Amino acid sequence: MSDGLTRVNEAVTVVRGEEELFRRIGHLLATVTDLACAANDLATWAADHRSDELAAATVGRAAGVRIRKMYRSALLLDSVSAHELARRRDQFGAEIRITHEEINETIVIDRRLVILAGDVRAGQRSYSVITQPETVQGVMSLFETAWRSATDLAVYDAQVADIRRLAPAVLDLLSQGVKDEAAARRLGLGVRTYRRRVAELMDALGAGSRFQAGVRARELGLV
Amino acid sequence: MSDGLTRVNEAVTVVRGEEELFRRIGHLLATVTDLACAANDLATWAADHRSDELAAATVGRAAGVRIRKMYRSALLLDSVSAHELARRRDQFGAEIRITHEEINETIVIDRRLVILAGDVRAGQRSYSVITQPETVQGVMSLFETAWRSATDLAVYDAQVADIRRLAPAVLDLLSQGVKDEAAARRLGLGVRTYRRRVAELMDALGAGSRFQAGVRARELGLV
DNA sequence: CCGAGAATGGCAACATCCTGCCGAGCTGGC
DNA sequence: GCCAGCTCGGCAGGATGTTGCCATTCTCGG
């Protein structure tokens, strides 16, 4: 260190396939107290699924176990997936948040070990397992940033997903600042109907004014 | 790899102090074509400053050099820093975005090399230099997520920073869905004056409706 | 103290938005 | 066909928001 430099050997291990990954780090899941996880779909961390039994065991363990999972909003368009998410939340006490951005599959275990999913080659996905403290801290920080900008599942619930499916055009026009008259004309609707849509939207957003609705809509990534 | 495992040696190098870091990776800055950088203040990447001459050289190089820098919004409250940011943008053609979240100091060079800032010990900050491809890709993805949720400096300009300093109360009340009458009363203002504030705010946000203003305010992290 | 300029707030006219009411039209079951 | 249940959309009237106008008040330099 006298040259201001430290070489770190074997700080990164690349693992091929979930089977192997699970063999390597599966035992850690039994004692984890802080699990941060990001995924684009429910299938990615199959190892995580298999560890449901382990996770279930955590329910009986002392409180203070924190499980955070972050998924893409697209996942909620599938009602089966949405239901599964809610199940995990209720059963394991996991905090689940929804983000609108694509996000690299990532797991951070107890702020000490990072797993980053890589490309799929020869049918097997590769995983980088990182233990080097500074690197883990850095990745954790980036995860925290994404986490803070994501929305809690309880807020971003099926109702909101519905809104997005039903009224994207209304949201667009509102966010463009278009007046009701013009917006209705552009949608081929009566002004009354358009305003009904807006009222439904505001109701669903729990907003008492259009300004507030705008804030919430943006919060939820609807616009 | 027959055991599904690859050990990667010296994939992470920990460097102590900016001097040393700059000696190690400084030469890369001369030929970089894709620089992604996140920082909480202007002082963190002093090496980056010293490389201004190098960066200036990139101006003369073939186009296609992409420089992205991401800073915290708090930085803009200081007008000197805000001016410096604008200078960098104009001089180097850097894309500059503002985020409201704290963010770990990070540099990604040409999507091949990652530097994560660590803790300061004995007066020197430590840096993790990572070259392992899967890890770099993972960090890059997290950076991209944060980048997408950040706001361009051109939008988040001094005017908006002013608004935040001048009208936080108005923003609060608006975002709570409070009616003008009640809001004015609560602020001890006349309704006319309160509405003047709202109008100024909407004007500064370039919004044509309160809904749009709500969206923009949220976008800019003002509420 | 004086005066210029900015900030305030009441008033009014107007624009926009919100919503109850009701009739028109559409759809599916019988 | 006929009815029930639904959405659609015009209308009206009230609620809320927007803006110009102007008198009053405040602020600050002279």
Tens digits of residue pLDDT in A42-98: 766 644 555 555 555 555 454 678 889 898 876 765 556 777 777 777 777 788 888
In chain A, residues 153 through 182 whose Cβ sits under 7 angstroms from any atom of nucleic acid strand C: 179-181
Please give the Cα distance from B28 to B26 (Å, whole number): 5
In A, minimum Cα distance to B209 occurs at: A177
C1' (C12) to CA (A168) span, angstroms: 39
Burial A122-131 (b: 16+ CB within 10 A, else e): eebbbbbbbe
Adjacency order of strands within the sheet including B5-8: A151-152, A95-99, A66-72, A34-39, A106-109, A113-121, A124-130, A12-16, B5-8
Residue B190 has pLDDT above 50, yes or no: yes
* Interface contact flag, A212 B148, Cβ < 8 Å: no
Lowest mean pLDDT among B1-15, B59-73, B139-153, B170-184: B1-15
Q: Distance, in angstroms, between A61 CA and closest chain B CA?
A: 32
**Which nucleotide is closest to B181, CA to C1'?**
D16
State the Cα–Cα distance between residues B48 and B56, nearest whole angstrom: 12
Considering only alpha carbons, which residue of chain A is nearest residue B208? A177
Q: Tell me the nearest-neighbour CA distance from B57 into chain A, angstroms.
A: 29
Mean per-residue pLDDT of chain A: 77
DSSP labels, B33-60: SEEEEEESSSSTTHHHHHTHHHHHHHHH
Q: Give the nucleotide nearest to B184 (CA→C1').
A: C9
Nucleotides of D under 7 A from a protein CB: 8-12, 16-21
Arithmetic mean of pLDDT, B39-61: 57
What is the percentage of chain A residues whose pLDDT exceeds 90? 9
Question: Count H helices, E strands: chain A?
Answer: 10, 9
> Among A105-109, B10-14, B144-148, which is the least confidently predicted range?
B10-14
CATH classification (class only), A158-219: mainly alpha
The DSSP code for B114 is E
The fold adopted by the segment(s) B12-152 is Endonuclease; Chain A (3.30.870)
A115 CA from D19 C1′ (Å): 58
CA distance A59 to chain B (A): 30
Mean pLDDT of A183-206: 86
Give B-chain residues touching A20 at CB under 8 angstroms.
3-5
B146–A134 C-beta distance less than 8 A: no
Structure tokens of A140? 């954790």
Write down the domain spans for chain B.
12-152, 158-219
CB pairs under 8 A between A and B: 227
A213 compared with B11, residue with greater pLDDT: A213
Q: Is the CB of B207 under 7 A from strand C?
A: no
Query: What distance in Å separates the CA atoms of residue A22 and residue A127, rounded to the nearest whole number?
Result: 11
Residue in A with minimal Cα distance to B223: A215
Task: Tell me how close the Cα of A147 comes to any Cα of chain B, in angstroms.
Answer: 10
Tell me the CB-side half-sphere exposure of residue B140, using CA atoms within 13 A: 19
